[in-house]
Structure 1
Amino acid sequence: MPRLLPVFVCVAFATLNAQSNYEHNVAGNAQDVQRPTRSGFVLMGGGRDVEAAFRWMIERSGGGDFLVLRASGTDAYNGFVMKLGGADSAETLILKDRSASSEPFVLERVKNAEAIWLAGGNQWNYINFWKDTPLSKVLQSAIDRGVPMGGTSAGLAVLGEHYFSAEHGTIQTADAVKDPFHPKMALGSGFLRIPPLAGIITDSHFAARTRQGRLLAMMARLNARGLGVDERTAVLVEPDGSGVVAGEGKAWMLRGTAPPEVCRKSSPLTYTGVELIRVGNGQKLDLREWTAETTDRTEISVLEGAVLR
């Protein structure tokens, strides 16, 4: 009988994972530790991760437990975070459907985390599976008590007050400015309440995927400010809205100076005189005052569906 025990345990573990609505993997100390944290938010634009941003989050976590949330993918972040050093543990929860957002084990792991990272993927899964669930309440509680939080790509998309949900798939700039009410322009608000991101909609992969016009169309629809973040780039934001850019690209701050001239269904967008500030590595910004220490300032417009700079 003792020789059969390892086989039995292995099979039981595989069966449990096959039937579960979530997967959980941990590297480092699997026991909970409690460390003092400092609030902060990492807004990352996708592509290769910015190590300096993760070190910033680990430092603010007090060296506690670093939790990655996602709806698909792997636990590759666990090794990445532990290799950087300073974290007690790194763990990944892959939540496969909406029911996982009510699982007691999932909620307990999120409550115990000293840093929370929303990985890339498909942001519609995050909105569909997480919004208005016990998980979203636990995430909001973490924000309110000063747990550092961040996200990249799809994870960034859901951090602003407003978001592009991708419920009907993604949309390219050409289609968004041709019709800002295109069926794929699925927008929403109020997933999380992060004070320095009030009134803001974010977008990622910004320059690489030419998303300036797409973000302008979203801003016109929502009467919101826009923050686009390039790949391999992160904005490290303090609770008071001040922050600094880290990485190889830019953070793009867009703010309308007047309402859009034309923003209606089945009509090309006209939205002129939008302020554009581009902020690079090491440069400071303030999301509440909408200022930055850069001379890279200009205007960007959409005129009858054409993006002009």
Structure 2
Amino acid sequence: MGKQKDFEYSLTCGSPSSARSEPEPAILLIGGAEGGKSGEDAATKWFLEKARGGNYLAIRTGGVGKQASFISRNYRDYVHSAAELSIDSREAANSREVEDYIREADALFIAGGDQNLYQELWEGTRTEDAINYLINDKKAPVAGTSAGMAILGSYYYAPDHQGIISSEILDDPFHFNTQTIHKSDFIQVPFLSNVITDTHLDRINKRNPETRYGRILGLLARVIAADKNSLDNHAIGLEEGAFVAIDKTGIAKVFGNGTHRGQDAYFLSPNGALPEQMEPGWPLVWDNGGKAVKVYKIAGTPEGTGEFNLNDWATASGGHWEYWYTLGGKSGLRKKSS
């Protein structure tokens, strides 16, 4: 383990090899709080199999964590090596050594934490270049959980402090706490162009008094407005413990607990109509006869189930379609079956 220049690297098993393992491209989106959840084992194996016995690397800020150790203890046969890298300044993110650590990886896991820090410290650096090299040139599988998932969409929400809650964005889609919705060239992920993601959809606690289902609807409305009212924008929202596995053809399946109570995935597309009311200081009204946004919900299973085609955002199986809409901030999010 070494710490210098505001980065920390920890190798937990094996020795990184520069030999090309010929990994298979894949994306694994994780809704957060996944440790010990029903689909974690199968989803992790699905992801590691794409590395073809290569080098596994987890990246984060704030010091190395336990992700690489988790892989070393439980999935040693799937990887040549497992390591973790904490990148804690722009100087570190621009260092050749950090860039080389990332480029050597055959599977990359972006940990949870603070997506605002990821953007602030990594965007426009050698770290960003190395991540995009893995995804688009080396074709290595990449996973992200919580904040790590948030930055994989071409749009992402990176609040400077406590994130906006559903009632706030539905009451005012231009609420001051939405100014950190970004469209950038940060991470370039196939099949996630014009997509904004959100995680922890079902979390409720002292810091999160409301679920985030209404929030993701509001975020999608903001993305559409930012893109000159283009309806060619989408959203993916995951409950905690849900895993969306996207293969090299753009087909997604979902790992979860096999019930309709938690660990589900939602794929959102506007249903041909712009919001009827979308003005600063006024509640969001997006009705379209109760059919504003088409949403495909897949209740994942421990083995992985369902199919959703991210090439056309229409072909799907193993779940069900529903409509989401809102008649104004006080009414909140409304849902109905298609």
3-state SS of 1:144 partner: helix
**What count of residue pairs does the alignment treat as equivalent?**
294
Residues 67, 208 of structure 1: alpha-carbon distance in 2 compared, 3 angstrom cutoff:
same
TM-score of the pair, normalised by structure 1: 0.91
Q: Is the 8 A contact 2:16 2:104 kept in 1?
A: no
- Aligned position for 2:294: 275
* 1: CA distance, partners of 2:87 / 2:142: 18
| Structure-to-structure mapping, 1:171-250, within 5 angstroms | 171-185=164-178, 186-190=180-184, 191-209=186-204, 210-223=211-224, 224-248=233-257, 249-250=263-264
- Aligned position for 1:56: 46
Letter in 1 for 2:156: Y
TM-score of the pair, normalised by structure 2: 0.83
User: Out of 20, 26, 48, which is 2:5 matched to?
Assistant: 20
Q: Does 1:142 align with 2:134?
A: yes
* 2: CA distance, partners of 1:131 / 1:242: 28
3-state SS of 2:323 partner: strand
Task: Please report how far the alpha carbon of residue 295 of structure 1 lies from its aligned counterpart in structure 2 after TM superposition.
Answer: 4.8
Percent identity over the alignment? 28
Q: Does 1:159 align with 2:159?
A: no
Structure with the higher helix share, 1 or 2: 1
Task: Please report how far the alpha carbon of residue 132 of structure 1 lies from its aligned counterpart in structure 2 after TM superposition.
Answer: 1.3
- Aligned position for 2:15: 30
Higher-Rg member (1/2) = 1
Residues 107, 299 of structure 1: alpha-carbon distance in 2 compared, 3 angstrom cutoff:
same
Letter in 1 for 2:183: S
| Structure-to-structure mapping, 1:249-260, within 5 angstroms | 249-257=263-271, 258-260=273-275
* 2: CA distance, partners of 1:152 / 1:259: 31
- Unaligned regions of 5+ residues in structure 1, if any? 1-12
Q: Does 1:114 align with 2:100?
A: no
- Aligned position for 2:208: none
* 2: CA distance, partners of 1:143 / 1:280: 28
Task: Please report how far the alpha carbon of residue 168 of structure 1 lies from its aligned counterpart in structure 2 after TM superposition.
Answer: 4.0
Letter in 2 for 1:59: E
Task: Please report how far the alpha carbon of residue 169 of structure 1 lies from its aligned counterpart in structure 2 after TM superposition.
Answer: 3.3
Q: Is the 8 A contact 2:169 2:218 kept in 1?
A: yes
> Aligned-pair RMSD on alpha carbons?
1.6
Q: Is the 8 A contact 1:75 1:91 kept in 2?
A: no
Q: Is the 8 A contact 1:277 1:298 kept in 2?
A: yes
Q: Is the 8 A contact 2:16 2:80 kept in 1?
A: no
- Unaligned regions of 5+ residues in structure 2, if any? 205-210, 225-232, 258-262
